Structure 1
Amino acid sequence: MAQNTWSIVQQGNSGIIPLELINLTPTLALMYDRPYTNPLKLPNGESAWAGLWHFDTNTATPLEIQTNSFCASGGFISNGTHVAVGGQPVDDIPGWGNATDGRMGVRLFGPCTSADGTGPGCTVFEDPETLHLVVTRWYPTALRIADGSLFIIGGSDILTTFNAADIAQNNYEFFPPRKGEEGTVRPSKFLEDTLPANLFPRGMVLPSGNVLIIANNQSVIYDIETDTELLRLPELPNGVRIGVPFDGFAQLLPLSPPLYEPAVIACGGSNKPDTITLEEMSVNDVATTQCQRITLTAAGVAAGWEIDHLPDPRVMAETVMLPSGDIYIVNGAHTGYSGYPSVGDSGATGTNAANPATQGIMYKSTLPLGQRITQVGIPTSPIPRMYHSAATLTAKGNIMVAASNPHPFVLEADNNPNNLSFPSEYRVEYFNPDFITNNSPRPVISKSPSQLAFNANGTLTVTIPASLAAGELQVSLMDMGFVTHGWHAGQRLVFLEHSLSGSTLTITAPPNGNIYAPGPGWIYVVADGVWSEGVQIMIGDGGAPPRPAQGVPVTITSL
């Protein structure tokens, strides 16, 4: 498999700070911000804090919403509707307009099927009086699970650098609520134990249907159906912490048939103690290079965390899963912490971090220890992407990178009298693999099913260039996740069983909703490391959650 060389091109202006970025369709991405004095305006002249990004024109159009969507989470549910949950209360600062408290917010979008985002379903629906969470949540995590609903984890009542017992939401809930659990939450001992660094918990649904949750320096495997902590994993080695504000990254690695054996990486962050005070913290505290990996089987957990190292320290970095199964690590800094300016020496710069990490890293998950991590062929961006940056894979097969604003206001580069660091960033970049840059031959999907039942076969019409035909053929089913704050909640890649005969590619859908939860996804065909453009597909029956069990059980080794 050839090593791709990447390049960067700047195209367009996002109009808002899209610190929450969701790939909707081949032509549209959904963007959420906080109410600022953004340049993107609503029809009434007020600044927008939500919008659509148009991939075909590299322009943004505003969306009207009611609640403050800042620091939310979310995901698609089984009928294709996108749901964003939680947010921030309203502060009395310029630009807030008519925003209302978003901490219990539920924002529904779509399904939107029009290419230009103007048709039915292409607006945000809210009804805060009757459609809301059970409790207030700022910095939660939401994951789509096997019944097509969202499992919502943790958060806080208010904006804070460290979480605390008197403000923490150390509990779980579901959207829509589970029968018999309406108006209630499930207390979490694990979240209690991981204070004060348990905001935006890194949660991942395992092929067993259980959920792995990583917070602070600890991890647990939780059984949703019995509301039981099944297993606490060994702590992250050498005192490393990845929870907010130490802010390392974590990612479930690709799942492959027949066993769909899960492994996860947790990298970067800090080895400072969680008893450190804000006054003791510095924007120049060096993050860690440590990158640990564990296989979530009985044997894998017994073996413990396998330690690797990034080429340089990383905080606030994020992972973009590529259709080949490689992971592009982008954005963030080499020193400091996440959060608005609050550490001991943040006053001079107006930020909690310094020394931007402008060159990405590639993680090759199938290679042996010591060979997985490289910067060969990875370019350097001229734009610092600090706190509140975002990146996502697109249908075209490149990476959209946007946003950055470590300040609680819009800081214009040409209106910065206090010479604060890292002005608010609206420029959009695309990171392109060389086969896109050079318009080289790549696989083409010319026909594909719009929906596929679990464990069912479907056919695609494809063209595989002769220059790639001798290489490995892969078919990737992907969920690009809810992107925010360096965390891609729900990002997932499942390799599909397949066979090729001429131009007919027969694929088999995942066997059940534990392997890939019912709902929308993207299919890419990869030949010798070069991937096609993505096509959308609905997996499962497309009904609203909760869905009954679909597909068939399979033998797995996952905990």
Structure 2
Amino acid sequence: MSQISSSYSDGHQGEWRLLHESIGISAMHMQLLKNNKVVMFDRTDFGPSNLSLPGRRCRYDPNDTVLKKDCTAHSILYDIRTNTFRPLMVQTDTWCSSGAVLPDGTLVQTGGFNDGDHVVRTLAPCNGENCDWVEFLRALSERRWYASNQILPDGRIIIVGGRAQFNYEFYHRNSQGGSSSSSHKAVWLNFLRETRDDDENNLYPFVHLLPDGNLFIFANTRSVVFDYKQNRIIREFPAINGGDPRNYPSSGSLVLLPIDENRPIEPEIMLCGGASRNAFQLVKKGTFSRAASTCGRLKITDEQPTWKMEHMPMPRVMSDMLLLPNDDIIIINGASSGTAGWESARNPVTRPLIYNPHRELTRRFSVMPASPRPRLYHSAAILLTDGRILVGGSNPHIYYNFSGVDYPTDLSLESFSPPYLASVYDHYRPRITETDEVVHYTQSFYLRFTVPTFLKMSVVSVRLILPSFTTHSFSMNQRMVVLKGIRISRVTSNTYQLAANGPSTSEIAPPGYYLLFVVHSGIPSSGMWIKLQ
């Protein structure tokens, strides 16, 4: 990395901005769509939200455990450009559900609680005021509550696990655009049964598509490489050091580090935070144990892989980990004691960390300024098109509760601008002026960018980022690919033409809509949407 991005000791520590004091709901789930709008939703079974449905619409649900008639919204569509939002109508319960985006840009949202546990919901990235959720009842073969989703190279979605579900199934769109399952049968996965403990620390298992087409699955303290085509585990790794569980409700967070096509591909996992074993049981006795402060990195392809452990500046549980376009990782939200669940955490951690995976061991973490707002259970964060982090949610109570509690329900929305967005770096910041809208595998494509002060060609890279579906400390489907074949030529004094090659395979980058970033000496452009096919 260049000197510009190698240190944040120059006083540029990032900046928080309050976007809305209230969006009417607590943002438990978030997904950025290709039209630069963000879908957010909560759950439907806690009573009314603080946002009315338009046109005197109401939700009638005889299965709802709190309100049979509910005229408030539990989902919104947020417009990044205008900083406005509008309510969406969701009928069935989305509590602790999961999601992924199809290659055509449609969000597929799966499962939930009660009458939502077998439901598939879709939302197309349209712009009209009538765009809304479409729900398909009984579309899933099994109950999916606390399950995880991953988009696959063939455009299907694999749905893994859930409470008391030691199996997986697939989702794909049928030719009429409706909902269907590839087999309508779940496939047994004994690894999920083996990793369940008294606290069920294998919920929301961490699932990532590896560049060879297999899946990495982490549950509790264990991880495997899984061949879903043959339904077999082909490799198991050592349990993570220390014995602390990392999945819900212990709620650490995990990312697949960027896949760089300019060098031999050696996929590497990084996992940070979590809760101590039995933390969930200890909370019932009034003891909030210290969260884990460790991070582990694991190279999947090593002959004898071992977890390389590091320590964060503070312990964290319920944090979100997001890949930033300049190779850094941000760790944001959470608490330093307790665990996930109702009233189960204390000591909020409001200072984000930025982790540089390329520095020497003792200099990888930078501590950012604090937000004034605790973000605990049922909060979320995602990367936005312009490189900011969108943060919302936090409701550690069964119902919305705004007074008489340590950590009131938070309906606000804020953004965090990482240090690379500081104005002092504007001279080095590239701006993409035109690019191909469609990128094909292995084929060259072109773009143009401007930059006021161009340093040298060797500090320019092009990255594709697949935006995540974030909930409960797991950013599902999150992925970054660094492209190869970079060729740059000067067009005018500060305009450059760049050619790059599309990803080599759909295993390295599944088809769909990605954000394309040009990074110049560690300073990223804003992202441009491209379709990879």
TM-score, normalised by the number of residues in structure 2 = 0.88
Which secondary structure does the structure 2 equivalent of 1:176 belong to?
A: strand
Q: Return the match for 2:518 from 521, 525, 531.
A: 525
Amino acid of the residue matched to residue 392 of structure 1?
A: I
- TM-align CA RMSD: 2.0
- 1:515-544 CA-partner distances (Å, limit 9, x unpaired): 01111111011111111111111111xxxx
Deviations 1:10-32 (A, max 9, x none): 11132211111001135310111
Instruction: Give distance in 1, aligned partners of 2:24 and 2:278.
Output: 38
Per-residue displacement from partner, 1:43-91 (whole Å, max 9, x unpaired)?
22611011101212322200112211121111111222110101111xx
1:239 to 243, 267, 290: 243
Tell me the residue number matched to 1:545: none
Q: What amino acid is aligned across from residue 513 of structure 1 in structure 2?
A: S
Task: Give how far 1:111 is off.
Answer: 3.6
**Distance change >3 Å, CA 17–CA 295, structure 1 → 2:** same
Q: Which runs of 5+ in 1 are unaligned?
A: 90-100, 157-167, 341-350, 541-559
Cα distance, 1:367 vs structure 2: 2.4
What one-letter code is carried by the residue in structure 2 that aligns with 1:188? L
Equivalent residue for 1:87? 112
Aligned match for 1:392, one of 345, 366, 382: 382
Determine if contact 2:381/2:392 at 8 Å carries over to the other structure: yes
Cα distance in 2 for partners of 1:15, 1:454 equals 42
Map of 2:281 onto structure 1? 277
Deviation, structure 1 residue 468: 4.9
Where 1:238 maps in the other structure, the secondary structure is: coil
CA displacement, residues 320-340 of structure 1 (integer Å, 9 cap, x when unaligned): 210011001000000000012
SS of alignment partner, residue 239 of structure 1? coil
Pick aligned residue for 1:311 from 310, 313, 316:
313
Residue identity matched to 2:171: F
Q: 1:332-371 maps to which residues of 2 (within 5 A)?
A: 332-340=334-342, 351-371=343-363
Contact 1:22–1:31 under 8 Å retained in 2: yes
Q: CA–CA distance in 1 between the matches of 2:221 and 2:212?
A: 23
Structure 1 counterpart of 2:150, from 119, 143, 148: 143
CA distance in 2, matches of 1:527, 1:26: 25
Q: Which moved more, 1:358-367 or 1:431-440?
A: 431-440
Aligned residue pairs, count = 491
Structure 2 contact 457–488 (Cα < 8 Å) conserved:
no
> Do 1:109 and 1:125's aligned partners in 2 also have CA atoms closer than 8 Å?
yes
Aligned partner of residue 190 in structure 1, secondary structure: helix
Contact 1:77 1:519 in 2 (8 A): yes
State the partner residue of 1:492: 479
Alignment of structure 1 residues 387-536 onto 2, 5 Å: 387-412=377-402, 416=403, 419-434=404-419, 436-438=421-423, 440-441=426-427, 442-466=429-453, 468-469=455-456, 472-497=459-484, 498-502=486-490, 503-536=496-529
- Structure 1 position 283, deviation (Å): 5.3
SS of residue matched to 1:466? coil
Aligned to 1:38: 49
Once structures 1 and 2 are overlaid, which stretch shifts more, 352-361 or 501-510?
501-510
Per-residue CA deviation, residues 278-315 of structure 1 (Å, 9 max, x unaligned), is 5666452101111111101032xx14111111111000
Structure-1 residue corresponding to 2:186: 185
Q: Match of 1:411, as an amino acid?
A: N
The DSSP-based 3-state class of the residue aligned with 1:370 is helix
Distance 1:151 1:281, change over 3 A: farther
CA change 1:191–1:435 in 2 (3 A) is closer
8 Å CA contact retained: 1:321, 1:480:
no
Partner of 1:164: none
How far residue 152 of structure 1 moved from its aligned partner, in angstroms, is 0.7
Match of 1:25 among 11, 28, 34: 34
Query: Over residues 475-525 of structure 1, what are the superposed CA-to-partner deviations in whole Å (9 max), with x where a residue is unaligned?
Result: 110012111011101111100112211221112111111001111111011
**Given that residues 399 and 432 in structure 1 are in contact (C-alpha distance below 8 angstroms), is that contact kept between their aligned partners in structure 2?**
yes
Shift of 1:273: 4.8
| Per-residue deviation, 1:109 | 1.1
Q: 2:296 aligns with which of 286, 292, 295?
A: 292
1:260 aligns with 2:265: yes
The one-letter code sitting in structure 2 at the alignment partner of 1:319 is M
> Which segment drifts farther, 464-473 or 258-267?
464-473
Cα gap change, 1:279 to 1:253, in 2 (>3 Å): closer
Per-residue deviation at 1:356? 0.1
The reply to whether residue 67 of structure 1 matches residue 92 of structure 2 is yes
CA contact (8 A) 1:26 1:394 kept: no
- 510, 534, 539: which one pairs with 2:532? 539
By how many angstroms is 1:371 displaced?
2.9
Decide which of 217, 221, 226 is 1:222's aligned counterpart: 226
Residues 283 and 352, structure 1, Cα contact 8 Å, conserved in 2: no
> Contact 2:316 / 2:336 at 8 angstroms: preserved in 1?
yes
| Counterpart residue number, 2:170 | 174
Offset of residue 126 of structure 1: 1.3
Q: Which amino acid in 2 is paired with 1:185?
A: A
Native 8 Å contact 1:14 1:59 kept in 2? no
Q: TM-score, normalised by structure 1?
A: 0.84
How many angstroms does 1:127 deviate by?
Answer: 2.8
1:270 positional shift = 2.6
Match of 1:381 among 368, 371, 388: 371
Is the Cα–Cα contact under 8 Å of residues 22 and 29 in structure 1 kept in the other structure? Answer: yes
Judge conservation of contact 1:75–1:490 (CA < 8 Å) in 2. Answer: yes
1:95 is matched with none
Maintained 8 Å contact 2:172/2:182: no
- 1:123 paired residue number: 132
What per-residue deviation string (whole Å, max 9, x for no partner) do you get for residues 327-363 of structure 1? 01000000000012xxxxxxxxxx1000000101111
Q: Distance between the aligned counterparts of 1:305 and 1:31, measured in 2?
A: 35
Alignment partners' CA distance in 2, 1:266 and 1:313: 13
Aligned partners of 1:520 and 1:539 also within 8 Å: yes
Q: 1:500 to 1:137 in 2, by over 3 A?
A: same
Percent identity of the aligned residues?
Answer: 32
Q: Distance in 2 between matches of 1:322 and 1:434?
A: 11
